[in-house]
Amino acid sequence: MSKYNTMDIWKAGIYMTKRKLIATDLFKLHSITNPVLAPSGKEAVFIRTIMHELDNKYYTYLHHVNLETKAVSQWTYTKEIISCPQWSNDGKSIAFLSNREEKNQLFLMSSDGGEAKKLTDLENGVSSFVWSPCSEKIWISALLKEGKTWSEKADKKEIKLPEVYVVDQMKYHMDGTGLLPKDTYKQIGWIDLNTEEIVPFKVGNYHYNLETISHDGKKLVIGVNREENQDFSFREPLLLVDVETKVETVIVDEEGYFGGVAFSKDDQYLAFVGSPCTFQNATHSEVYIYELGTGIRQSLTEGIDAPVGDYVAADFQQGGRAPSVVWTESNHLYFQLSTMGDVRLYFASLEGELYPATGEYEHVYGYDVDASGIFALVTISTSIFPGELFCQNLATGERTALTNFNETFIKDVELVEPEVVVYKGAKDWDVYGWLMKPVGYEEGQKYPLVVEIHGGPHTMYANTFSHEFQLLAAEGYGVLYVNPRGSHGYSQAFVDAVRGDYGGGDYEDIMAGLEYVVKENDWIDETRLGVTGGSYGGFMTNWIVGHTNRFKAAVTQRSISNWVSFYGVSDVGYYLTPWQIGADMTDIDKLWNASPLKYAANIDTPLLILHSENDYRCPIEQGQQLYITLKAMGKETSFVRFPEASHNLSRTGLPNLRIERLKQITGWFKKYI
């Protein structure tokens, strides 16, 4: 346990001669996530993730904390990725998913200690699971080939010849997965822990998603879309299923996302998070309540003009999975809300009470709440605090630090706390952001500035730790990062305003922020400016250098350069393009006018193009087109391809490639700025 009683370890008088942060400090950081309370409320488990430099892999370890003594102990030591730890209802066992044998399989560990036991050996692994309240069986969902049973084992000695892949639907590939398996469906069953036999429950040629089970064990909630053609279907109806009769009751069936379901402790209500398609993928998520006795459904958060959930764009936390909602015994609820650059834990009652349970200027990226509602476990990060686990009294707000894994890093490394900036953007709307001074800043000196642009566009920069931003500051740059229109956390009108206006008001917001900080801060050398961003941020970087020569160097990452080709090659292109740009292939002119490639002749800024070879979201041809076009025009450019990397290179890519990416960015700015 840390000797400090608050998260402000960096304020605890432990200043020494500190060094500058470097790219490989990623290997010294610990990501603390997934706190899960035991039914007794007296103990909990959580996950610690590290990047291993020599093995070039991520490893996670299950840890236990005794909440009475505050003692923390490590429970697993195998080199693996662990996820989704869950306690049995009797508190005697922990189940979790592990990839220690490549595919995610279900493992069981006694809460008294000892080695974990593998419960499944399925060809495609286990997708998700939930304990039965009796603690004698576990419900699972797993991919199953049509015509196969879970008892059939794959012949590992069989020589598999390459097979053609016949495409007959539009949703056939996915970033991070590749080609989706053919004739394979997610099915639901349960494991008898006495016999370890898997009993099928929901099978057939549909994907069944397992949501939750009632506390009496009599009702399941599942998600399934049984439409024959789902190319333009963006729904997954939630169904309440009687375990004994299998009779189904529809909870919600409409376009949009609905999930994260939880039963109230008395099984009278369901709570879940959902976002209809009112503004397509820019629609705010809300907390919904469904009363089982009456079938009445209502939004609990419709009075809040901010999205439920965590929409932070950052590069450090690994594998964090926070629950959508958590009930207490008093039928009160807790959930995350992204608002004004924070992610805060919120309280709600069925009578309409609604207020924040945690403070401002921080990122609550994980949590669990005791059934009594007296305290919560929270994992928290700030701009100069990578993140640890805390116990918070929900009545007083008092916190106790339970872990201190990153204490040495904080003691050793000089970090820069950004200042909040607020200025007027397009349409005279307020735009919020942050400005970091370079490490070693001295009054009266001039310094270069790098503008960072997040992806999405419907995510947000936040009061959270960013290794990349701190690295740029350590390299001697000021860093400006803002939330232009399209960003979450401010209002529904604000997040929706970018749709149909890419390169319009969003571009004005970013450039207005630059001009504002240049005017207000005489330390910024406006002749030495850089800009970078990924995904939507890559699109905007491309757009910026095609519309202004304000920047001396630029780095575009996993970008979009051509909406015409993006429509057909991206895993989401055929529907995201009309959602975001407002046109499809029947209006080529509109797509081309919104494409940065059209303005390549105007680009005079030296442009580094970074792209992952296995990026299915913004395929590498987007970077290729831009590079070849610029090179043919004699422009200053370079193209770096990252093998074995997907769209999420900067967050979950191979460790050596993440380090190389940072070196490429800082090297380009050093060369041209």
HEC string of 579-591 equals HHHCCCCCCHHHH
Q: What string of H, E and C letters represents the secondary structure of 172-220?
A: CEECCCEECCCCEEEEEEEEECCCCCEEEEECCCCCEEEEEECCCCCEE
User: For residue 203, how far is the Cα from the chain centroid?
Assistant: 30
CB 423 within 8 A of CB 431: yes
Q: State the DSSP H helix or E strand holding residue 650, giving kind and residue range, or none if neither.
A: helix 649-652
The reply to whether 535 belongs to the active site is yes
Which residues share a beta bridge with 506? Answer: none
What tokens does 480 get?
């400006």
Among candidate residues 535, 595, 646, 650, the one labeled active-site is: 535
User: Which helix (H) or strand (E) covers residue 551, if one does?
Assistant: none
44 forms beta bridges with 37, 65
* Residue 83 neighbours by CB under 8 Å, 6+ apart: 34, 47, 60, 96, 97, 98, 104, 319, 321
Using alpha carbons, list the distances in angstroms from residue 80 to 116, 505, 627.
12, 45, 38
* Residue of 363, 458, 467, 647 marked active site: 647
How many angstroms separate the CA atoms of 588 and 78, rounded? 53
Nearest to 99 by CA among 74, 115, 122: 122
For the question of residue 647 being annotated catalytic, the response is yes
464, 381 contact by CB (below 8 A): yes
271: nearest Cα among 338, 208, 221:
221
Q: How far apart are the first and last CA of the chain?
A: 44
Q: Please identify every residue annotated as catalytic.
A: 535, 647
